Amino acid sequence: MKIVMLGAPGAGKGTQALRIAEQYGVPHISSGDIFRKNLKEGTELGLRAKAYMDEGLLVPDELTTDLVISRLREEDCKDGYVLDGFPRTLPQARALSEKLKSEGARIDFALDIEVSDEEIVSRVSGRRICPKCGAGFHTLYNKPRIDGICDICGAELKMRDDDRPETVLKRLEVYHAETEPLIAYYKEEGILRTVDGSQSIDKVFEDSLDVLQD
């Protein structure tokens, strides 16, 4: 089973990707992990990517695609994988389809974890982190015993700049512009499956397995 995960940042895509990969006994392939590994090992593709990053430029779609494809050629991917964080743009999705096609393979499903912007802002902006011990809390879903204080070490909890509503909204804007066309693309390919990501983690997982049956 070859699956592409879609969903806005904060939709819980990574969590579901891990569980689905485990369920099917296939690797969870995260584009972030691939970048880190290639940079660390100083591979040829990694060095080329690094040259762009060092100049503060975005790594071009084609190079990103090559990096991911080279990972997908490894032995553990031969029975399938769950792709998380790639493709991110329409050119990447097209390049992935083309390359797979040339090898007689294809993506089976694109699974979209759908969560409204309002819900994502409320989820993300409720996150609190302890600057001292790193423990994570949430003002709604994982409250500390005393408001604003770390249960473990007693330090004052902080909000990460990345979790501020205005920053979250900016990320969502980029997502809608860049990644949403992928939803239309995979729909046209007939392999789009959508689940309501506003439910509990277990229910989203259950629904995901259901829609991946057909």
Examine the residue annotation and report whether 171 is marked as an active-site residue of this protein. Answer: yes
Measured from the CB atom, the residue of 53 and 155 that comes closer to Zn ion is 155
- Can you give the binding site for Zn ion, defined by CB under 5 A? 130, 132-133, 135, 150, 152-153, 155
Closest approach of Zn ion to the CB of residue 135, in Å: 5
Query: Which residues face 112 on adjacent strands?
Result: 6, 194
Measured from the CB atom, the residue of 121 and 150 that comes closer to Zn ion is 150
The answer to whether 77 and 29 have CB atoms below 8 angstroms apart is: yes
Which contacts of 39-48 are long-range, i.e. CB under 8 A and separated by 24 or more positions? 45/70
Examine the residue annotation and report whether 36 is marked as an active-site residue of this protein. Answer: no
Examine the residue annotation and report whether 48 is marked as an active-site residue of this protein. Answer: no
Measured from the CB atom, the residue of 59 and 149 that comes closer to Zn ion is 149
Which contacts of 34-38 are long-range, i.e. CB under 8 A and separated by 24 or more positions? 34/67, 34/68, 34/71, 34/86, 35/59, 35/67, 38/67
Residue 175 and residue 181: Cα distance in Å, rounded?
Answer: 10
Residue 208 and residue 23: Cα distance in Å, rounded?
Answer: 11
Closest approach of Zn ion to the CB of residue 132, in Å: 5
Measured from the CB atom, the residue of 156 and 173 that comes closer to Zn ion is 156
Length of the chain: 214
Examine the residue annotation and report whether 145 is marked as an active-site residue of this protein. Answer: no
Which candidate in 88, 94, 99, 132 is catalytic? 88
Closest approach of Zn ion to the CB of residue 81, in Å: 36
Strands 28-30 vs 136-138: parallel, antiparallel or unpaired: unpaired
Closest approach of Zn ion to the CB of residue 159, in Å: 14
Catalytic residue numbers, as ranges: 13, 88, 127, 160, 171
